[in-house]
């Protein structure tokens, strides 16, 4: 798995099976599916997910001025169609 530093940038992403984890400076997005099966592969997947979640918790706990909530994203702006 590639090096993933939670909240470090707005570009990095990693995948564990069919689960994608996208980095952001104010949020981390998880989407897809991940089956934690009762075998060695399931254990590897669980450990990989745990590493990322433990790192995210560590970053959040280390921030003394952690806000109660992240501001909502700005609504997208409508622009004129340049082709029409």
Instruction: Give the pLDDT confidence of 10-59 residue by residue, as tens digits.
Output: 999 999 999 999 999 999 999 999 999 999 999 999 999 999 999 999 99
CA–CA dist 11, 2 (Å, integer): 13
Residue 1 has pLDDT above 60, yes or no: no
CA–CA dist 28, 26 (Å, integer): 7
Provide the whole-model pTM.
Answer: 0.80
The pLDDT assigned to 76 comes to 87
Residue with tokens 């952001």: 24
CA–CA dist 32, 21 (Å, integer): 9
**Residues, the chain:** 84
Residue 2 has pLDDT above 70, yes or no: no
Residue 73 banded pLDDT, cuts 50, 70, 90:
confident
CA–CA dist 2, 49 (Å, integer): 13
CA–CA dist 3, 18 (Å, integer): 18
């Amino acid at each position: 798995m590639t090096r993933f530093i939670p909240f470090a940038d707005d570009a990095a992403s990693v995948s564990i099976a069919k689960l994608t984890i996208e980095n952001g400076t104010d949020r981390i997005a998880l989407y897809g599916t991940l089956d934690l099966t009762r075998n060695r592969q399931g254990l590897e997947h669980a450990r990989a997910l745990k590493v990322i979640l433990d790192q995210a918790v560590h970053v959040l706990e280390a921030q003394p001025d952690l806000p109660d909530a992240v501001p909502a994203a700005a609504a997208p702006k409508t622009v004129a169609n340049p082709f029409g």
